Amino acid sequence: MNFEMSEKTRLIIDMIDEFVDKELIPLEPEFLNRSFKNLLPVLEEKRAKVKKMELWAPNHPKEYGGMGLNLVDHAFVSESLGRTPLGHYVFGCQAPDAGNVEILYLYGTDEQKEKYLRPLVEGKIRSCFSMTEVELPGSNPVMMDTTAVKDGDDYVINGQKWYTSSSDGAEFAIVMAKTNPDASTHLQASMIIVPCDTPGFNQVRNIPVMGEPGTDYFGHGEILYQSCRVPQENLLGPEGHGFIIAQERLGPGRIHHCMRWLGICKRSFDLMCKRASERIMTPDGKTLATKQIIQAWIAECAAEMQAARLMTLNAAWKIEKLGVKEAREDISLIKFFVAGVMQNVVDKALQVHGGMGMTDDIIIPFFYRHERGARIYDGADEVHKMSVARRILRGYEGREVK
């Protein structure tokens, strides 16, 4: 396995790094103190620049206007963009749109691709993914109360979802709902496209996350589906294959997230080292960087970040070369390991900044608030640990070990 960037990829990353440093990071003070919706005009200007640079939608298919980068190359891109909360959005590869693009590309009909996929890749519209339910554990997604019942040529959807990220201002949702309740457990649910202006699609609120409800793309919606009627032609893939499709979406999405988290680590680590080297702690001019405990934190964070990065790139390589099924163990390992590394690095960076670390004068508190959920969404750490341990232990059943 060779994780070195090609010359072409290195050029792309250099261009992205420069753009992030010069165009996006300077916007962060405004981003932290205004609603995202109010920032949209200037972000659209930045998006237009990215398109002129031919760096738009790096992971999306070329035939729909993307760059068509493979998973490993996009992993490097995601790491670079992750250094700022604005990165993925401005470059047109933000979640949940990125995952929805994959689903539509693999399972959409020609009509669905023209109506939803093409404008989504072009950045003309946004989408959301509606799966998690208020009263049921997200760690066990087969437990689902939302139903889609056939009535004539339509599905009628009823249920309540939350953490439908970016639903505020989205054009359509991809909804997971039970269409085949009498089928075997993993063949009960389907994915259905629901335009957000459909009667019965009701956005109750943007859920406050650690005190911040967010607006537009930076919101997490609670949605109430009340006799929400859509044509059966809005079904994605075969009926009852919702969980199968979700599993295909999960592997690449996990790489995108983990490398984005590593971008957050890199930014937080740089700020921590800069602060430690400059913050004077004694009358004789000694800085935080002279303290052994700070030196230990920096060394430990550097080691953890390198380990997490190599694990993630290895998982990306396996998915690319061997497929999601062969990489299942690696996908579970990186989910909880990289999320834990990110939380530790961000926390240490905040601690090194002292009182300033509690303010929105810097980006670290934003990371602290909004990325703590990384150890919960897409399956809590504990679930992934149990799952991967069971798979490992099955390999020892009946096996002689000397």
**Out of 1.10.3720.10, 3.20.20.70, 1.20.140.10, 1.10.540.10, which CATH number does the structure's domain 243-394 have?**
1.20.140.10
Question: Which DSSP string do the residues of 112-171 spell out, in sequence order?
Answer: HIIIIIHHHHTTS--EEEE--BTTS-TTSTT----EEEEETTEEEEEEEEEEEET-TT-S
Q: What is the CATH superfamily name and number for domain 127-236?
A: Butyryl-CoA Dehydrogenase, subunit A, domain 2 (2.40.110.10)
Per-residue pLDDT of the chain in tens (402 residues, 90 and over written 9): 667 788 999 999 999 999 999 999 999 999 999 899 999 999 999 999 999 999 999 999 999 999 999 999 999 999 999 999 999 999 999 999 999 999 999 999 999 999 999 999 999 999 999 999 988 777 677 889 999 999 999 999 999 999 999 999 999 999 999 999 999 989 999 999 999 999 999 999 999 999 889 999 999 999 999 999 999 999 999 999 999 998 887 888 899 999 999 999 999 999 999 999 999 999 999 999 999 999 999 999 999 999 999 999 999 999 999 998 899 899 999 999 999 999 999 999 999 999 999 999 999 999 999 999 999 988 889 989 998 999 999 989 988 888
pLDDT digits (tens, 9 = 90+) for 54-84: 999 999 999 999 999 999 999 999 999 999 9
Q: Do the domains 243-394 and 127-236 match in fold?
A: no
In whole angstroms, what is the distance from residue 48 CA to residue 356 CA? Answer: 34
HSE toward the beta carbon, residue 179, CA cutoff 13 A: 22
CA nearest neighbour of 341 among 383, 378, 297: 297
The residue ranges of every structural domain in the chain are 7-121, 127-236, 243-394
User: Would you state the pLDDT for residue 1?
Assistant: 62
CA distance 31 to 27: 6
Is the domain spanning 7-121 CATH 1.10.600.10? The answer is no
- The structure tokens listed for 260 are 């984005």
Q: Which two tokens stand for residue 216?
A: 């537009």
| Beta strands at 172-178 and 127-130: parallel, antiparallel or unpaired | parallel
